[in-house]
Amino acid sequence: MRLSPGSSSRRGARYTLGLLASAAMLLTGCSNLANTTVNSAATPTAQVKVKGRLHGGNQPVAGATVTVYFAGQTGYGSASTVVTTTTTANDGYGSFSFSVTCPSQSAPPFDPLVYLIARGGNTLNNGTTTSNSAAIFVAGLAPCSQINSSTFVDMSEVTTVATMAALQQYFNPVTESFGMDGILVAYTAMANAFTTIRNLVDYSSGTAVTTLTKTGTATGSSVSVTVTPESAKINTLANIISACINNNANGDATACSTLENDATPPAAVTTSQPGGTFAPATDLLMALYYMMTNPTNGSASNLSAIYALSPPTGAPYQPTLSSAPTDWTIGVTYSSNSNCTNGNGFFNFPYDLKLDGAGDVWVDNGPDSNGNLAHMAFDGTPLECAAVATKSRGSTIDDRGNIWVGSFSTNNIYRYTPGSGLVLTYATAAPVVAVTADGADNVFFSTYTGTALYEIAGGATATTASSPTQISGSLGAAPAQIMVDNHQAIWASSGAANVSEVLPSTTMSDPTYMNGFVTTSFPVSGSSYGISLTMGNAGNVYTSSQSTNAVDLLGPNSTNTSYVEATNFPAMGGGLSNPTAVSVDGAKNVWLANNATGISNVSEFTVGGLALSPTAGFSKDSSYLVNGRSIIVDQGGNVWISRDGSTSITEIVGAGVPLYQPASVGLMQGRFQTLP
C-alpha cells in the first residue's frame, strides 16, 4: 500500500532538512545566480544612442515606426514599458536611431530587457509615402546595461523569426508584448533567451547565422564548440512573412490572408499561459507566434499552404528548405571535436544532460575510457571539462549545485563541485546506471546488477566519502532512470513491465523493508526505460516503453493507495520509435527522445495522451539530430537532447513550456516541475 504524505517520521525529518537548505539557498543561491546574469545597474547610466536599419526582403523600409520597449516583469507575456519611438529614414537604408537610459536599480525589477518592434513603412522602396500596415518586425536586443554606443541592429524578417523562436514562451499574442515572471530564475531564463537570438541571426546584417564558433578555456585547454542552427528553415520562415511584408496592400494581400488563416492557434497547454484562449491571427506577428507554438499548423495542408508562400526561386533569404517540413521547430546543434587538457574529448558519446540554475548544460560523456564531465554555457561557450567518470550512464545536480556522475565501468559515483573542482569519490557495489537528488542534500543511485537502490544521506554537504546505504533490493532488472517526487518517493524504471516506488517507512514487517524504506511495484504496459514525474498531491508518473513504442502514465487511484494506468494511455504515435529518456515541461507535456537506428526526431504528448508531435515526430535532418538518448526542458522552454555515440548535442529552441531547473532545487523551493 502506498503511504500517505507525512506517514513516516523519516520523511518529516527530510522536509525539515529541506527547509533549512531552502533558507541557506535564499542566503547564498540567489547571489550566486545573480553573478551568472546581467547585473542590475547601480546608478542610472548615461544616455546611450543606438543605431540600426530596417529592411524587408531586399528592400529598405522608410517611414516605419520603431518602438523601443522594456520587457514586462510581472508575468509571462506581461505588459511592456514603452521607452521611446523613432521613424526609419528615407535614405536608401531605412536607418533609425534612438537614445536609451537604463534605470537605477539593484533589486527587482531587474535590469530591463530591451526589444524593438517596427510597424508600417514603405516596404517597396519606390520613393512614395505609401505605408504597408501589415509590415511588422521584431528584434530582441539585450539587457539595458549591455547596450552602448556601438550597439547596432539590422532589423529584418530574419530577426523577427529568430526573436519569436527564442522568446515565444514570453510573448502575449493579445497585447503583443514580451515579458517574464518577476523572479530571478525567470529573468535569467529570458535574458538567456535574448542571447540565444544571436545564435540564430547576425544582427550586423539581419541574416541567418550559418555557423558560429564559441571558444573557452576548459581546465587550461582551449576548447571550441561549433554552433549550427537550422538556417535554411529560418530563411524559409523569413521568406514566408516577407511575402506579406513586401507589398502595399495593407494586410489584404493573399500572402497575408494565407498566413493568418492557416497559422492555427495553439492549444493553450503548449504555451506559458495555460489559461489563455487564442483567437485567429489578425497580423503576421500573431501568425508567427502560432507557427512557433503550434509548429504543425494544425494540419499538413495548412503547413503546406504556408510553406508555399516562400517562392521556389528569387526568395530574398537563401538557402531555403527544398520541401515543406513536418513542423516549424528550429533546432541548433552544439558540436565539439576538441580535447581538453586531460586529453579527453569535450563531447564524446554524450549520454546524460542536466541543467543548472543559470541555464548552463552539464553533459556526462559515456565512452569506455577518457570520459568527461563537460560544462557548456547556455549559448554554447565551453566552460569546464573535468575527468570525472568513464562510461557514465547517469548524472544529477543536487540542491547545493554539486554535479553527481556515476561510472558504469569503475563501480564508483563521483561528486564534482564547480568552481573548486573538488571530486569526492564513493565506491559502489556494482555499476551505476542512474542518479538523482532530493531537495534535502540526499543523493540516490541505482545499479545495473542486483536490482538495488542506494542512498548517500547528506551527500550534498559531506566533506568525506562514506559507504552508500542500500535502501532497496526490489527494483527491476534494468533501472535505467530514477527520480524523486515531491513526497520524497524515489521512482525507478525497471526494463520490464513495471516501475518501482521506494518510500521512507518505519514498517519493518514489510517484506521489502530495507534501512528505513519499502518498495512497491506498479504495472505498466511495456518495458519501462525513461521516467519523469509531475507535481501534485500524489503526482503522475510518466514512463517510456521501448518494447511497445509507447509512453505510459500512472496516476493515483481514487483512494490514493495505489497507482493505475491513466485513461488514454499507453499513448502511441507522435513519432515514437524506441523511446528512451522522458522529460516533462512546465505545462506537464511529456517529451521523449527516440533512439531507433537512424531516427532523427523527438516526440511530445499532452498530459491527456494526445500526440502534439506529428506522425514522424518533430523531425530534424540527421546532421542536427539522430539517435537521441537524454532529453530535458530548460527554464526558457528550450528542449535539449544528447545524441548517442556522437560528439554533439541538440537544442530545439523554445518548443517546450519553461520548467524550473534543476529538479532538486525545485523540490527544495516548492517549485518542483512547475513554471519558473
Give 366-415 as a DSSP string.
Answer: --SSS--EEEE-TTS-EEEEE---SSEEEEEE-TTS-EEEEETTTTEEEE
* In contact, 544 and 580? CB cutoff 8 Å: yes
Put simply, whether the predicted model's pTM sits higher than 0.85 gets the answer yes
Note if the bond before 319 is cis, omega within 30 degrees.
yes
pLDDT of residue 409: 86
CB count in 10 Å sphere of residue 459: 24
pLDDT of residue 105: 61
CA distances to 151, 564, 661 from 529, in Å? 49, 18, 22
Ranges of beta strands (E only) in 197-310 are: 201-202, 207-208, 212-218, 221-229
* Residue where the block lists cell 564513493: 426
Residues whose CB falls within 8 Å of the CB of residue 23, separated by 6 or more in sequence, listed in order? none
DSSP state of 281: P
Distance of alpha carbon 82 from its chain centroid, rounded? 29
In the numeric block, which cell numbers belong to residue 293? 507554438
pLDDT of residue 544: 96
pLDDT of residue 393: 86
Look at residues 358, 297, 367 and name the one whose alpha carbon lies nearest to residue 325. 297
Q: How far apart are CA 593 and CA 601, in angstroms?
A: 7
* In contact, 334 and 380? CB cutoff 8 Å: yes
Low-confidence ranges of the chain (pLDDT < 70): 1-45, 105-108, 248-252, 450, 536-538
pLDDT of residue 27: 28
